[in-house]
């Protein structure tokens, strides 16, 4: 089990400010060390204030590549599309924003294989993976149940996979493409950002369960060798 540090904030604005600063520092360090930064950013509502604040940072954005940790299989421009949200914020700054879903595939497994094939030549490992978490313990789009089993048993070199959450989450009831567990835990830095007591309880349970956790976030924490910062706001 990894070393975990909790950072508590009074509101999401404060959390956004702090995390934007951390992400900026990671990007700057990666550019200094390797001439470029490659980061994966979570979808969902929670990171909105982080991205808004980060977009104000004075950075050499042309050297920054951003990929969503996961996406819903919907066309570009759809309100449920994570890459569309990231593109709106970061493309105008000059960053590269790479989709994980590039075509409308009816078959989510094929969409996952296509994403995996494209991502094989991507810049691994990621400099940062910023994860969110659902109240069911899902992270990126690795959901508890069969998705987690598939994520755990699939080939180690796989970078992405297609998933069909069961039950479908009400906020985006569609199939998805997610970075694989191996891709996530190989990142040079791992951060989790969540809000609310319910999610905090779930995350504490996942940590307590350790390596045998049935929650995807628990397996990420069990498999990474890095210290993980958990950012939490009421």
- Decide the pairing of beta strands 190-195 and 228-233: parallel
Residue 45 touching ligand 6PG (CB under 6 A) = yes
Nearer to ligand 6PG, 43 or 144 (CB): 43
The minimum distance between CB 80 and ligand 6PG, in angstroms, equals 8
Smallest gap from residue 35 Cβ to ligand 6PG (A): 28
| SS3 track for the chain | CCCEEEEEECCHHHHHHHHHHHHHHHHHHHHHHHCCEEEEECCCCCCHHHHHHHCCCCCCHHHEEEEECEEECCCCCCCCCHHHHHHHHHHHHCCEECCCCCCCCCCHHHHHHHHHHHHCCCCCCCCEEEECCCCCCCECCECCCHHHHHHHHCCCCCCEEEECCCCCCCCCCCCEEEECHHHHHCCCCEEEEEECHHHHHHHHHHHHHHHHCCCHHHHHHHHCCCCEEEEEEC
Q: Which stretch binds ligand 6PG (CB under 6 A): 50-58, 90-98, 122-130, 134-142?
A: 134-142
The answer to whether the CB of 44 falls within 8 A of the CB of 12 is no
Q: Contacts with ligand 6PG in 64-123 (CB under 6 A)?
A: 69-70, 82
Among 25-33, 59-67, 92-100, 137-145, the segment contacting ligand 6PG (CB under 6 A): 137-145
Positive or negative, the CA dihedral 132, 137, 143, 149 is positive
Residue 137 as a binder of ligand 6PG (CB under 6 A): the answer is no
Query: Among 16, 132, 137, 144, which residue sits at the site for ligand 6PG (rule: CB under 6 A)?
Result: 132
Report if residue 140 touches ligand 6PG, rule: CB under 6 A: yes
Number of residues that bind ligand 6PG (CB under 6 A): 14
CB-nearer residue toward ligand 6PG: 34 or 45: 45
- Residue number, 7 or 33, with CB nearest to ligand 6PG: 7
Choose which of 12, 46, 81, 213 interacts with ligand 6PG (CB under 6 A). Answer: 46
Residues that bind ligand 6PG (CB under 6 A): 42-46, 69-70, 82, 132-134, 138-140
């Amino acid at each position: 089990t990894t070393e975990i540090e909790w950072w508590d904030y009074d509101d999401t604005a404060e959390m956004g400010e702090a995390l934007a600063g951390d992400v900026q520092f990671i990007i700057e360090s990666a550019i200094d060390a390797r001439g470029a930064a490659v980061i994966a950013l979570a979808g969902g509502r929670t990171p909105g204030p982080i991205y808004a604040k980060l977009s104000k940072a004075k950075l050499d954005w042309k050297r920054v590549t951003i990929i969503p940790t996961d996406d819903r299989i919907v066309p570009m421009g759809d309100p449920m599309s994570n890459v569309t949200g990231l593109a709106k914020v970061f493309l105008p700054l000059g960053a590269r924003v790479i989709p994980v879903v590039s075509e409308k595939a009816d078959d989510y497994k094929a969409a996952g294989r296509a994403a995996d094939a494209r991502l094989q030549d991507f810049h691994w490992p990621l400099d940062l993976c910023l994860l969110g978490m659902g109240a069911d313990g899902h992270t990126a789009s690795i959901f508890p149940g069969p998705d987690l089993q598939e994520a755990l048993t699939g080939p180690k070199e796989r970078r992405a996979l297609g998933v069909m959450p069961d039950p479908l989450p009400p906020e985006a009831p569609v199939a998805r493409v997610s970075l694989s567990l191996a891709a996530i835990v190989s990142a040079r830095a791992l951060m989790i950002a969540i809000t609310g007591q319910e999610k905090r309880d779930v995350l504490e349970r996942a940590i307590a369960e350790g390596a045998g956790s049935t929650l995807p976030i628990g397996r990420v924490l069990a498999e990474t060798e890095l210290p993980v910062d958990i950012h939490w706001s009421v």
